[in-house]
Structure 1
């Protein structure tokens, strides 16, 4: 059972919602399109502090898959590979990506249970996402009745990607997905774009990484994150996750 929000939320002392958000307009756009961008989600300062915190973290894990199996590697271990080993790994990933579902990116996971989290700024942002004010906003915008939000920090470096999938996983009770962007001044040609796929196999819109913007979209929605190009001068940094219902509450 996920710990419910408490009356006093210490995360609100660091993170707070932008009071100028036009919630009815956002809800109308989400109902029409099934996805929405909420620019400047937070009041000033919170996103800057969170980005700085994540750039200082040294506990990133590289995740990739081989079919249904998930492989994890501590980030320093990648630097220890020889040039030939790195090329072999890249070749296997890219060949697999040409045939089906494949990904590679960096992550710092956050426990779903608030009681088991630590006190880092990342943990406090997860607490904020599960606070009463944020849950109310998300439910009003998406016209759902979710009761918790899961979260992980993600970082896509040069050569990282995520091929097309729809986020629908049995038993996860996901109603919508989100990406909270922490990448300022990102160039679209650097890749790392959140792309939506139409039924005809063509791209049906998308979002360039942006700083302080929350992107929401319905589950299931077929989408991908495009290959991060060698011209990217920094990693594509964000907090991602899903708006969910506790099992048995749907």
Structure 2
């Protein structure tokens, strides 16, 4: 029987005033236990066990590339070696680059190639009145109207290099709904890190289960490299809250 229970059910015990004060002070916040335990567990299961993952990557000016599940599965060993060769060369020269596993929930919903109703909720749930109202309250940005969404998985040898989110798409606040399915060790990478103008890390968020990270854009940040010995993957739903 299909599961019709809603995803992204907000935890009613959140201290919204304290969270809003933290965001006002720093322009970023991590909300732990943001969803009900049942809701968070359902999303984590959907991501870990039922999602047709694709791949996204960019190496300097080559990209961005967004491959859906079938196209990613068709990549040969030679293809992968070429991709990682380009990534390594770009990173060695200080160019922007990334590679991570993804399911483009918003694109799939809008373009009609969704994996199913449950995956559609990764987009529609983010845009539910309860979530949008929570974000407006904590960020003090009443003009927020909607958000896009993609499911992401950072596994071994994957990363998102230092950058700022600058776009003409009316991005106001970036978000990362974190659904790490294990107790994440610091040496496994995958941290959302923030930097000052001198290149020092001034704050970092460990991958956690059932946590919402939000920050004003643009600001310098990255997702740190996940080494080959990391035994788990960093699951999340990510995107930007927008005003139109």
Instruction: State TM-score, norm by structure 1.
Output: 0.86
SS at match of 1:32: helix
Correspondence 1:185 to 2:179: no
Q: Which of residues 90, 100, 103 is equivalent to 1:105?
A: 100
Structure 1 Cα separation of the partners of residues 72 and 63 of structure 2:
19
Structure 2 equivalent of residue 176 of structure 1: 173
Residue 204 of structure 1, CA deviation:
1.1
CA distance in 2, matches of 1:150, 1:81: 32
> For residues 87 and 69 of structure 1, what CA distance do their matches in structure 2 show?
16
The farther-off stretch of 121-130 and 99-108 is 121-130
Structure 2 equivalent of residue 4 of structure 1:
none
Structure 1 residue 13 displacement after superposition: 3.4
| TM alignment of 1:198-237, pairs within 5 A | 198-237=196-235
The aligned counterpart of 2:24 is 31
Q: Distance in 2 between the 1:220 and 1:142 partners?
A: 15
What's the CA shift for 1:206? 0.8
SS in 2 for 1:179: strand
SS of aligned partner of 1:129: coil
Contact (CA 8 Å) 2:33, 2:210: kept in 1 or not?
Answer: yes
Closer/same/farther in 2, CA of residues 236 and 42 from structure 1, 3 Å limit: same
Deviation at 1:126, TM superposition (A): 2.0
SS class of match (2:77): coil
Match of 1:93 in 2: 87
Mapped to 2, the partners of 1:15 and 1:195 lie a distance apart of 25
Alpha-carbon shift at residue 168 of structure 1 (Å): 1.4
1:125 is paired with a residue whose SS is helix
For residues 233 and 77 of structure 2, the distance between their equivalents in structure 1, rounded to whole angstroms, comes to 20
- 1:3 aligns with none
- C-alpha spacing 1:198/1:53, structure 2 compared with 1 (3 Å): same
Deviations 1:44-73 (A, max 9, x none): 211111111122235211111141632244
Find out whether 1:133 has 2:133 as its counterpart: no
How far has the Cα of 1:87 moved from its partner?
3.7
Q: Could you tell me whether the CA contact under 8 Å between 2:6 and 2:125 is conserved in 1?
A: no
Return the offset for 1:86.
3.7
Q: Where does the alignment leave 5 or more consecutive residues of structure 1 unmatched? A: 1-9
1:18 is paired with a residue whose SS is: coil
| Structure-2 residue corresponding to 1:70 | 64
Match of 1:244 in 2: 242
Q: Which ranges of structure 2 fall in alignment gaps of 5 or more residues?
A: none
